Structure 1
Amino acid sequence: MQNTHTLRRTVVAAGLLMAAAVAAPAFAADNYPSKAITMVIGYPAGGSTDLVGRLVADGLAKKLGQPVVVENLGGAGGVIGAQKVSKAAADGYTIMVGANNELAIAKLINKAVKYSIGDFTPIGMVGSQPMVLVASHKAGVKTAAEFVSLVSKSPDQYSYGSSGVGTALHLSGELIQEQGKLQMTHIPYKGVAPLTTDLVGNNIEFGMFVLSSALPQIKAGKIVALGTTEAKRSSITPDIPALSELPQFKNVDLNSWFAMMAPKGLPAPIAAQLKKALDEVMASPEFRKKMEETGNVVANPKTDAGKYINAEIAKYTKIVQYAKIED
């Protein structure tokens, strides 16, 4: 008889434990967030991803009622930060704002990258800005048409610089070469600062920048803007033509984008809460104004981030295969 009672108590206890385990995620979601959230940014402070990420973090903190603490985890073009988030607990307390390099490109060119886009829960696209092809005064060209004419006549005699091998800037340069049937030498720099110095100093003919990084030098007349890389002119710089306005570049449509991500397996109620808060932040006139000041256009909140990033991966895969890029 005693054994029967013991068995019953064991079964009841086990049932209570199972019920608690099932109820725990729902309870956690109902009370989310109950503590500070960490936002990982895979770049040092002051860069474009950091600037956008901090704007998002500040806005989310106000909407969610909890601190959103930025953790800059620079290294390997954003990969170290993305890797940390891909392995974090899927509880909504570790999120990231990432960019093309670590979310769409890194795995295509570096076999050492172990995560994939499937290791994240996409929350939403945040914003984007075009890249821009620029010329030094040494090149002696003022338009994209003059650029094509000059380079096509002298294959492999001209160089373009980017912020590094396998970056979105490098790949946009390769796409321009492919579409225009051009042959240039790619010079990878350790960031935009030394590339800017060489362009202003007339030590290299051409360069690829994100629009916000190039604008100060363009406005100062120290370098020449030849064209942006989106399908249409940027609303931020309507006076700079889109490269796609030339027939040979009609398929050039790339930009530098930012997305908010969480680890794979994030409970749907928490993902929905983060998405709602992000949408409210992005709808704020103050947020839009600050994004435009950094050269970015705020994303359409209806954009499906997962589908968008997978489409970007497909674009970059073709460019990597064409240019045979490996890091």
Structure 2
Amino acid sequence: MLIKLKHSSTQSLGRLLAGLVVSVVASAAMAAWPEKPITIVVPFAPGGSSDIVARNLAPMLGERLGQAVVIENVAGAGGMLGTQRAVRAAPDGYTILLGSGSEILINKLINPKVATDGIKDLSPVVFVGTGPMVLVGKAGLPANSVADVLALARAKPGTLSYASAGNGTPMHVAGELLKMRADVFMTHIPYRGAAPALIDLIGGQIDLGVSTLSAAQPYIKSGKIKAFAVTSAKPSELAPGIPAMGQVKGLEGFDLGVWFGLFLPNKTPPEILQKVQTAAQQVLADPQVKKRLAEQGISASGASAAELSKFMATEVEKYRAVVKAAKITAE
């Protein structure tokens, strides 16, 4: 016996079958991913901390995912050009951002007109790691501790200068937090990166600097500059022999570091997010990768996307309080 279907029923059945086909095709595509090389966007120039971290992860991440992972440096506008490149990329898993505090959180705080919002426009994948910054001084500065530095600052307000890797960087925020907590005034000198700031510090053109540990360590070890404290609550195993800012009298609890994470564009399929997270966690658990990152002043994490999101929610409030109180702007 033949069964005649009404036109509307035929249309409904057609839509159902079409939906099933799309679902099957999409599932097959997810299973096959990745089918071509993957790009990690580094929003800063080659040779900086972000670039070094990304290049330490890329080879083994490629092995885990079964495709080459290449680095693309997109520098400019304090990391925003590279961040925008990642935000605007197709959400297909082939463009990953190696992000840090500057471009993900701070830039939006110091310049609300910035179109990209690192929290809203990107999906966290994995927490790569954290590291302390370090307060350093020129070799000839008559100070051997944080207490000595603060005494000099109080004796001659405004005469001491301190350098950072740029306006609105974590180093700048840490310097302003120190000024606020200690109630001292020092003149901020922003540079375009840690390297030129350290060169002027070695040359004696500036008195102090807040730097990433990786950039400053060679000069600390050679005696070309002095190290007063890491910017953490407790001493860091990455910087043996250097006191912690958070254990200085009057600065108890001081804790502000640099951090890195992997991010994907919003609307990236959760199956791809999970694949990248699992592969990255395996890479970050590798002893050789941990060792190489430690040599760069970074303690490998490997925490999940959810844990990275929670960390960022806490960190952005730290930044917000300092940016507001110190009136830090993009200019």
Q: What's the TM-score, normalizing by structure 2? A: 0.93
- Aligned-partner Cα distance in 1 for 2:195–2:278: 37
Determine helix, strand or coil for the equivalent of 2:204. coil
Q: Is the 8 A contact 1:25 1:267 kept in 2?
A: no
Deviates more, 1:294-303 or 1:274-283: 294-303
- Aligned-partner Cα distance in 2 for 1:157–1:46: 32
Deviates more, 1:147-156 or 1:207-216: 147-156
Matched, 1:325 2:328: yes
Determine helix, strand or coil for the equivalent of 1:298. strand
Q: CA deviation at 1:89?
A: 1.9
Q: 1:205 aligns with which of 200, 204, 207?
A: 207
Q: CA deviation at 1:296?
A: 1.3
- Aligned-partner Cα distance in 2 for 1:139–1:203: 11
Q: Is the 8 A contact 1:129 1:255 kept in 2?
A: yes
Query: What residue in structure 2 maps to residue 55 of structure 1?
Result: 56
Q: Is the 8 A contact 2:280 2:302 kept in 1?
A: no
Q: 1:178 aligns with which of 177, 180, 186?
A: 180
Q: CA deviation at 1:324?
A: 0.4
Q: 1:225 aligns with which of 224, 227, 234?
A: 227
Q: Is the 8 A contact 1:179 1:251 kept in 2?
A: no
Equivalences, count: 325
Query: What residue in structure 2 maps to residue 31 of structure 1?
Result: 32
- Aligned-partner Cα distance in 1 for 2:60–2:303: 15
Q: CA deviation at 1:139?
A: 2.3
- Aligned-partner Cα distance in 2 for 1:203–1:72: 31
Q: Is the 8 A contact 2:126 2:302 kept in 1?
A: no
- Aligned-partner Cα distance in 1 for 2:325–2:30: 46
1:97-153 deviation line (CA, Å, top 9, x unaligned): 111111111100113321221211111111121111111134211111111111122
Query: What residue in structure 1 maps to residue 315 of structure 2?
Result: 312
Matches within 5 A, 1:110-149: 110-116=111-117, 117-149=119-151
- The aligned amino acid for 1:313 is V
Q: 1:297 aligns with which of 290, 299, 305?
A: 299
Query: What residue in structure 2 maps to residue 78 of structure 1?
Result: 79
Query: What residue in structure 2 maps to residue 238 of structure 1?
Result: 240
Q: CA deviation at 1:290?
A: 0.9
Deviates more, 1:226-235 or 1:296-305: 296-305
Unaligned runs of 5+ in 1: none
Q: CA deviation at 1:275?
A: 1.0
- The aligned amino acid for 2:256 is L
Q: CA deviation at 1:55?
A: 1.4
Unaligned runs of 5+ in 2: none
Matches within 5 A, 1:35-46: 35-46=36-47
- Aligned-partner Cα distance in 2 for 1:300–1:94: 19
- Aligned-partner Cα distance in 1 for 2:308–2:240: 26
- Aligned-partner Cα distance in 1 for 2:249–2:27: 55
| Percent identity of paired positions between Structure 1 and Structure 2 | 37
1:67-94 deviation line (CA, Å, top 9, x unaligned): 1121111111211111121122222111
- Aligned-partner Cα distance in 2 for 1:26–1:316: 41
- Aligned-partner Cα distance in 2 for 1:48–1:127: 12
- Aligned-partner Cα distance in 2 for 1:278–1:295: 19
- The aligned amino acid for 1:217 is Y
Determine helix, strand or coil for the equivalent of 1:97. strand
- Aligned-partner Cα distance in 1 for 2:115–2:17: 39
Q: CA deviation at 1:282?
A: 0.7
Q: CA deviation at 1:273?
A: 1.2
Determine helix, strand or coil for the equivalent of 1:46. coil
- Aligned-partner Cα distance in 2 for 1:22–1:243: 55
- Aligned-partner Cα distance in 2 for 1:275–1:96: 13
The root-mean-square deviation of aligned C-alpha atoms, in Å, is 1.9
- Aligned-partner Cα distance in 2 for 1:127–1:25: 33
- Aligned-partner Cα distance in 2 for 1:127–1:160: 26
Determine helix, strand or coil for the equivalent of 1:249. coil
- Aligned-partner Cα distance in 1 for 2:181–2:26: 50
- Aligned-partner Cα distance in 1 for 2:255–2:189: 22
- Aligned-partner Cα distance in 2 for 1:230–1:101: 18
Determine helix, strand or coil for the equivalent of 1:291. helix
